Amino acid sequence: MQKFKNIYEAMQTIKKHSQNDEELHVLNYFGARKGTFLDLGANDGKSLSNTHALAELGWVGCCVEPAHAPFQRLQALYPVMEDVQVLNCAVGTETGVFNFLESGEIKGEPGTGLVSSLDPKQKDKWGKHVSFSETTVSCYTWKDLQPLLRYKKFGMVSIDCENLDYDILIQMDLGEMGVEFLIVESNSIENQKYIDYCAKFGLKLIHSNMENLLFAK
């Protein structure tokens, strides 16, 4: 693993993987501190990832991804004995086995599972631009997922679960989890409910873009 003299060298040197430089906001907050991350909806662990740069810098964590194809790549990226745990399941409002839409091609390009979802409305949202295959997936509420996780405290959390982000977020006690930095997907006009929930745990909105809201202590 590459070592850096300081966080500024890291920020200039690391290969960014996120959609809008989200990992740089994380590193700017934590500085040289290393911590533990939780990535819900991790995809293949690299494509548009908010956490892979952290793992490259020595962070540990858990990646959860329900879609089969990207999970195979995620598993190859982080071998079993690495400090990053990977789980092939979904997180939702109920525990059980449910129908799941796994995305394939996006606008004619090879798909990466980026918009796979438990939400049946996902097909209507993407229309003819995305191909989907129907399968089933094991799903857990946050409460039921926690015993399966190697780590229990997470300084940084990333949630990208295609239309279920807020439903998952409000199951979490961010204070008990030790969350200092949160990235959550929200490309709707309902951002205020995220802001209000995070405020209960002392997390303030520090940045937003077309895809994500970023909160920090």
Q: What is the DSSP string of 149-173?
A: -S-S--SEEEE--TT-HHHHHTT--
Q: Which residue has the tokens 């998952």?
A: 168
At the topology level, CATH places domain 7-95+141-216 in Rossmann fold (3.40.50)
What pLDDT, on a 0 to 100 scale, did the predictor assign at position 197?
A: 98
Q: What is the pLDDT of residue 10?
A: 59
Q: Which pLDDT score is estimated for 177?
A: 98
Q: Is the pTM of this model over 0.95?
A: no
The upper half-sphere exposure of residue 214, i.e. CA atoms within 13 Å in the direction of its Cβ, equals 19
Residues 137, 19 contacting (CB under 8 angstroms): no
* Spans in the chain with pLDDT lower than 50: 1-3, 108-109
Spatial distance between the Cα atoms of 179 and 162, rounded to a whole number of angstroms: 21
Q: Tell me what pLDDT residue 20 has.
A: 82
Task: Give pLDDT tens digits for 171-181.
Answer: 999 999 999 99
pLDDT at res. 1: 40
pLDDT at site 201: 98
Residue 109, pLDDT score:
47
* pLDDT at res. 118: 57
Return the domain boundaries, the chain.
7-95+141-216
